[in-house]
Amino acid sequence: MDKREMIARRIADYFKEGDLGNLGIGLPTLVANYLPADRNVMLHSENGFIGIGPTPKPDEIDKDMVNAGGHEVTILPGGCCFDSSFSFLLARGGHVDITVLGALEVDEKGNLANWMVPGKMVPGMGGAMDLVVGAKKVIIAMEHTTKDGAPKILANCALPLTAVGVVKHVVTELGVMDITPEGVVLRELAPDVTIEEIQSKTGAKLIIPDNVGCMV
């Protein structure tokens, strides 16, 4: 299974009946393709609508129907559109149950850095600060290390923070981790990944419970 698909499938399991969620650009948008059909889950896009569906097939593409990252999406029956001010009222007002987004760094205190790319011009953090502070649960979907192999889960973030103490879960191609007051707890390992391997690629000391599940 493709590692991005594996991450998206696992995160889809976090959504419960009646949840309102927000999916960040990039990898997190894939989660919409794997939400269980028997759960009533609505997805919010900060550019102004609720009701994101799966990625459109070629004959379903509508150029006027895009998410906050500018990518074409579908809107499910019952979806609705609104202006930016109302959209951020939902985000800042605590109405979003789950926010899923990527990260450059996450640390053992739940701090998140995901907007300042060293050496590159970036447009700013966009709506990420509002979404992670206002959401009831923040889940990080990302690859475990940088392209150079450097850990992205650290004891302390080195990059400018997007928010402090907000991250609850981290899902990578190597496993599933919870951020707790005690630190980073390893909950599940991806198939064929060992505890020694995931620890060697993690910049924070992992807490290993007696029973570690299998990420499926």
b/e map of 46-79 (b: 16 or more CB within 10 Å)?
bebbbbbbeeeeeeeeeeebebbeeeebbbeeeb
Q: 196: exposed, middle or buried (C-beta count within 10 Å: 0-12, 13-18, 19+)? A: exposed
Known catalytic residues? Answer: 46
| CA angle 127–104–197, rounded 5-degree value | 140
CB atoms inside a 10 Å sphere around CB 198: 21
d(CA 117, CA 135): 24
Q: Which of 120, 22, 112, 121 is nearest to 73 (CA)?
A: 22
CB atoms inside a 10 Å sphere around CB 34: 15
d(CA 51, CA 103): 24
d(CA 32, CA 52): 7
